[in-house]
Every structure is written in structure tokens, then in C-alpha cells.
Amino acid sequence: QVHLQESGPGLVKPSQTLSLTCTVSGGSISSADYYWNWIRQPPGKGLEWIGYIYYSGSTNYNPSLKSRVTISVDTSKNQFSLKLSSVTAADTAVYYCARAPQYCSGGNCWFDPWGQGTLVTVSS
Amino acid sequence: QSALTQPPSASGTPGQRVTISCSGSSSNIGSNTVNWYQQLPGTAPKLLIYSNNQRPSGVPDRFSGSKSGTSASLAISGLQSEDEADYYCAAWDDSLNGPVFGGGTKLTVL
């Protein structure tokens, strides 16, 4: 059973870069069958997809965040990471990592499983 | 403003059947499949329905999904107290070239 776990600082100062890592256990991140995603949820609000990465390193980002987002993968550690630059209070959210099937880009896209999420607060 | 529109709240009594709607457009629901997630209080979302009407292993058959045109619905029959949660619909959006979510529906079991 695949398990995903987010890790990283819970507090980031405005204008700095938010950095999170998702560690995958119980399965290989190098599988050609999946995309690896980041999704966030501001407190009391809905879900927003941030982007995904394939094991090969190819990425796809939400256009609303594309200029500030970088997702990378480290297959040797079975991890993938998120960097979000120039953060503001609006970036305060619970950040989730999640797996999606490789035909996600073909229009049939779901997230399963999800990590437990990590709250990142942007404040000075 | 979410790309998919859901009612903010829904309610029902134990044993009742409730439905939650999700409205989209030709660029998302109209041309791609719909998925539903259940988020219990203080926990991560969990996949409930995928590919419009498929249940992952372990999801009770009390939960069912359907899609017609640019709208979709989640139905919960035999409502139970443990079904009290937030429910989100989602679909790939061809204009965004990525998945979009509904704003979520808070289900209360009275």
C-alpha cells in the first residue's frame, strides 16, 4: 500500500520561498504509471491543484501559480518536492501531496492516495 | 470562484438519500470524467468516486456517482452519521490543462 508523507517548515516569511518534500513509501516514484501532485487548501476553503511531475522530470503547473512554482523529483530518495517563491499570506494553506494515474493528462484524472497534509503559514 | 459549482451545504436524516450536484462547462465536465472526494473533519481528502461512477475498493455501495452533459451528481443512500463531511467534485479542465475542483459541499446528518 502506497503511503505519502509531506514534510517541511510550518512557517515561512513573506517574500521568501516555501519548500516542501513528499516522501513516497510502499511503491516506487519511478513507476511509469503515475503522476505525483501537489494540492493545497487554505484554511476553511476549497482545494486548489498546484501541479504535477512525472518520474522523468516532466511537469505541468497550474497557470495561476506557474511563475512561482517548481516541482522536482529525486528518484534515488523516492521523493518529490515543491518550491513556491515570493510567498504572501494568501499562500497560507494545508499542502497535500497525492498520486494520480499516468493518463491523468488525457482527461481521466483522480488523486489517490493523499498524504496527511502539512500546514504552512506565511507570516513575519 | 471555483471552476465547478457545488451547493455550499446539504443535509439529511439517518437512512435518508441525499444528492450533491456539481455543475461545470464543456471544457471540464462536458468533455472529461468526474471524480468525488470525501473530507472528514481534520483529515485529508479521500477518493470516493472516480471516472464518473466507479467506487474504489472499500467504498460502500451506498455512494454512487453519475454524469450528464456538463453536470454531475453524488448520491448517498442510507445516510449515516459518519457520512458527515465535506464533499468535493473534480474534473480535468481542457482550458486550464489541469484538474479543477468544486468549492465543496458540507453535508450535515441531522
Q: In the beta sheet, which residues pair with residue A5? A: A23
Q: Cα separation of A18 and B34, whole Å?
A: 31
Q: Peptide bond preceding A42: is omega within 30 degrees of 0, i.e. cis?
A: no
Q: Cα separation of B102 and B23, whole Å?
A: 8
From first to last of its 110 residues, chain B has per-residue pLDDT tens of 788 999 999 999 999 999 999 999 999 999 999 999 999 999 999 999 999 999 999 999 999 999 999 999 999 999 999 999 999 999 999 999 999 999 999 999 99
In this complex, the residue of B56, B99, B103 whose CB is nearest that of residue A109 is B99
Residue A89 class from Cβ within 10 Å (0-12 exposed, 13-18 middle, 19+ buried)? exposed
Contact B51 A48 (CB under 8 A): no
- A vs B: CB pairs below 8 A: 71
Contact A60 B88 (CB under 8 A): no
Put simply, whether A96 touches B (Cβ < 8 Å) is yes
Q: What is the pLDDT of residue B36?
A: 98
